[in-house]
Amino acid sequence: MKQYFRTAATVVMMAVINLVGIPVSAQKEQAQGSNAVSTSLVISQIYGGGGNASGVYTHDFVEIFNRGSQPVNLANWTVQYASSAGTNWLPSGPLPNFSLQPGQYYLLQFASSGAIGQPLPTPDYIVPILNPEGFIPNLSATTGKLSLVNIADRLPALSCPTDASIIDMIGYGTASCFEGQATPALTQTTGAIRKGGGCQDTDNNNNDFQIGPPAPRNSSTALNPCDLGGALQAGINANPNSVAPTQTTRLTVSVVPATTPPSTGITVTGDLTDIGLSANQQFFDNGTNGDQVPNDNVFTYDATIPAGIFGGVRNVTAVAADGQGRTVNLNQIITINAPLPGDDPLLFGNPSGATPDIANENNYLMPKPQYTLSYNRSKATPNWVAWRLDSSWIGSTPRQDDFRADPALPAGWFAVGTNDYSGSGYDRGHMCPSGDRTNSVPNNSATFLMTNMVPQLPANNQGPWEDFESYCRTLASQGNEIYIISGPVGNIGTISSGRIVVPQYTWKVILVLPNGTNDLQRVTRQTRAFGVVVPNFTPLDINAPWRNFRTTVDAVENLTGYNFFSEIPKNTQELIERRRDTL
């Protein structure tokens, strides 16, 4: 089923059919995807331990199953694999002209890591060597993601693509993309096997798959037709799935009516209290309230997020029901792009007076739960990025490295992509560092949005800049909270065919407080505040310590024209901003 999730960055979709008694659980991930309910093909089994030291079979495999009521021709379909956090989707090659019957399995043989294990049953398709890679895709034995795609083209280089061609998505282990919730990690001796012989599909990988000894089936295996006629099916989607207060997201529920007996009187009702709206909101299938086509069993509601709501991951639920008493419980996660409670990085002031008005295109305010930024459309970089750091933001989550365009940019604006820095000689330089957001996969993933990047000289980004980032995390580990604002200044050229400005310097200002509450009231004349300004041009010593570039907040204000910490009483502000730091 094509409802899939990105840990990073935005929506969880899960349809649970009460007839099978599967509980609904709220997810903590961001996601994207379609709400189209798959009534035909699904991935029914995966195994990635082929040929390993403890491998059960000599080769990795993926099994496809037709859970629908009509034959499906596999010509030019593909199964595409990417690593847990990867963006490079490796296709199986276009499948041949084969009519997969209802209840029939289809076995794809992938690569082998050795000669350990027993041979697979006769595969229906052997994945060929890829061009230009020169190898057969090798599935991870523990963690990864797979898409069933109804075209031969490769998926775009995204950690969680949302193409309409994706029919089913499976994430296992720590995969960054999945339906509802990823399955547990696999091993060299276990696979992920769809329940009900392949029939169960509730848009939640963790619910739909069991982990156990692999048992591959091919097209010669006895048919296992699924009786779905008595079940009401539905899926939910939010577009966009990541919104700021006062913005609108379109909530859509697509319903597949039951046929035995036929569904009548279908309704959809949502509980939107977690996003500050009604607990009993009707969805519409009459051409109003965002609904596009009346009476097509696609129910819609345009939800406007109230002003003043805190940011973070919010849970929306809905129930699709028919007059025959059948119901489907739906669960959706929406990310509210606003500061978290007690974590407003602009508590001490908005340095440029940025606003969320798209007409203010070169000082466009973009709040997120992880940080807030002012974006400059003409430069295709942030003017500044602000965030708050304390030890609660630090954990053990690895770098996601899922660089990607920011979907929150207004429609029609050039969105810097992952390859726009390629061959430029400049790093994709984080403003809010990956290392400052390691308490969860979604929070770390958010730092790889390209609106958080500026072109940085490697000797800058990997030298004193990184040195200062590490120093700030040390301060946080010592019981401090740090308010940080960072950005570029100047123009020494462009990259990406003139679309992205290369800054002359990168700068950062910080204000340090011991952990506590009422931060604005706790600032005194002794509060530590200072800045750093690092050249973004050669020559620059990559081993130079960050203290070589330390300066006053006043100096950074003079360089940038911004007014930092403007909410602090004027006398105190002036004193801490002109003081030279010596620690």
Distance CA 135, CA 128 (A): 8
59 part of the active site: no
Q: Report CA 354 to chain centroid distance, whole Å.
A: 26
One of 430, 437, 473, 550 is an active-site residue; which one?
430
Question: Are 44 and 214 spatial neighbours (Cβ–Cβ below 8 Å)?
Answer: no
Spatial strand order in the sheet of 61-66: 125-126, 105-109, 61-66, 41-47, 191-194, 209-212
Sign of CA dihedral 140, 313, 401, 380: positive
Q: What is the largest CA-CA distance in the chain?
A: 82
Q: How many CB atoms lie within 10 A of CB 407?
A: 14
Distance CA 436, CA 523 (A): 23
Distance CA 449, CA 400 (A): 11
Q: Report CA 388 to chain centroid distance, whole Å.
A: 21
Distance CA 46, CA 568 (A): 57
3-state class (DSSP) for residue 450: helix
Residue for token digits 């390859």? 419
- Number of Cα atoms under 13 Å in the Cβ half of residue 173: 22
Length of the chain: 583
Which 8-state DSSP code applies to residue 143? S
- Helix 553-560 with 570-578: angle, nearest 10 deg: 100
3-state class (DSSP) for residue 536: coil
Distance CA 41, CA 72 (A): 8
- Burial letters 430-456, b for 16+ CB under 10 A, else e: bbbbbbbbbebbbbbbbbbbbbbbbbb
Rounded to 5 degrees, what are φ and ψ at 574? -65, -40
Distance CA 355, CA 335 (A): 20
CA angle 38, 334, 250 (to 5 degrees): 70
Which 8-state DSSP code applies to residue 449? B
Question: Are 457 and 540 spatial neighbours (Cβ–Cβ below 8 Å)?
Answer: yes
Cα R_g (the chain), whole angstroms: 26
Residue for token digits 């810097």? 416
In the structure encoding, which two tokens stand for residue 127, read together? 């994945």
Distance CA 176, CA 183 (A): 12
Distance CA 438, CA 122 (A): 45
In the structure encoding, which two tokens stand for residue 355, read together? 């606003």
Provide CB contacts within 8 A for 241, sequence distance 6+: 10, 11, 30, 31, 32, 249, 332, 333, 334, 335
Task: List residues with catalytic annotation.
Answer: 430
